[in-house]
């Protein structure tokens, strides 16, 4: 997996968003804006990308996207519950019709037995539809984990655009 794969997926995502008439918002934690960087590398992305939020700290998650402190305290920053709250917050705080979020442990430190390095939680939300979330486990160094997570996010958005209908 490389930058070329991510850019190719970003181009495909842009085509799907244009076709659907949707705009996109992103909430990224462990990827630090990597997905937003990829989608804005595509010429014409201003027509389908509304905004991105890099909410690395728990305070940013709460302040910028309204993630309830109870979710962070109960489930942790790396959880499907937090990812869902991030995606819903990105929708609420944007003009987008679809949003994706990523929160995870890219390493090399920070992992636990329950949530080892490489654990990444994702959520996808569409206006007026239920959100969906999943957890994946990636392997490699910090950069490789972040890149795999970014690719999984864009692929997940494409998948949702293929299945979500207006």
- Find the domain containing 58 and state its range: 3-163
Q: How far apart are CA 89 and CA 44, in angstroms?
A: 25
Instruction: Give yes or no for a contact between 103 and 77, defined as CB atoms under 8 angstroms apart.
Output: yes
Q: How many helices (H) and strands (E) does the chain have?
A: 6, 5
Closest CA to 84 of 102, 104, 59, 110: 102
- What is the chain's mean pLDDT, rounded? 95
Contacts 24+ apart (CB under 8 A), 107-115: 107/141, 107/142, 107/145, 108/141, 108/142, 115/76, 115/78
- pLDDT category of residue 165 using cuts at 50, 70 and 90: low
Residues 6+ apart with CB under 8 A from 39: 10, 13, 14, 24, 26, 45, 49, 154
Question: What does the block give as tokens for 40?
Answer: 């804005």
33-68 pLDDT, tens digit per residue, is 999 999 999 999 999 999 999 999 999 999 999 999
9-28 pLDDT, tens digit per residue, is 999 999 999 999 999 999 99
Q: How far apart are CA 88 and CA 107, in angstroms?
A: 26
Domains held by the chain: number = 1
CATH number of the domain that residue 87 is part of: 3.90.950.20
């Amino acid at each position: 997996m490389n930058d070329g794969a991510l850019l190719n997926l970003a181009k495909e995502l842009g085509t799907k968003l244009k076709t659907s008439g949707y705009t996109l918002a992103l909430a990224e934690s462990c990827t630090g804006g990597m997905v937003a960087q990829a989608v804005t590398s595509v010429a014409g992305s201003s027509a389908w990308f509304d905004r991105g939020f890099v909410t690395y700290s728990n305070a940013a998650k709460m302040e910028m996207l309204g993630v309830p402190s109870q979710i962070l305290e109960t489930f942790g920053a790396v959880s499907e519950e937090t990812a869902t709250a991030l995606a819903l917050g990105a929708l609420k705080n944007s003009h987008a019709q679809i949003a994706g979020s990523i929160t995870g442990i890219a390493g090399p430190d920070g992992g636990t037995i329950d949530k080892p390095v490489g654990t990444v939680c994702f959520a996808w939300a569409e206006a007026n539809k239920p959100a969906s979330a999943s957890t994946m486990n990636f392997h490699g160094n910090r950069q490789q984990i972040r890149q795999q997570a970014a690719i999984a996010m864009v692929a997940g958005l494409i998948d949702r655009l293929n299945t979500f209908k207006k």
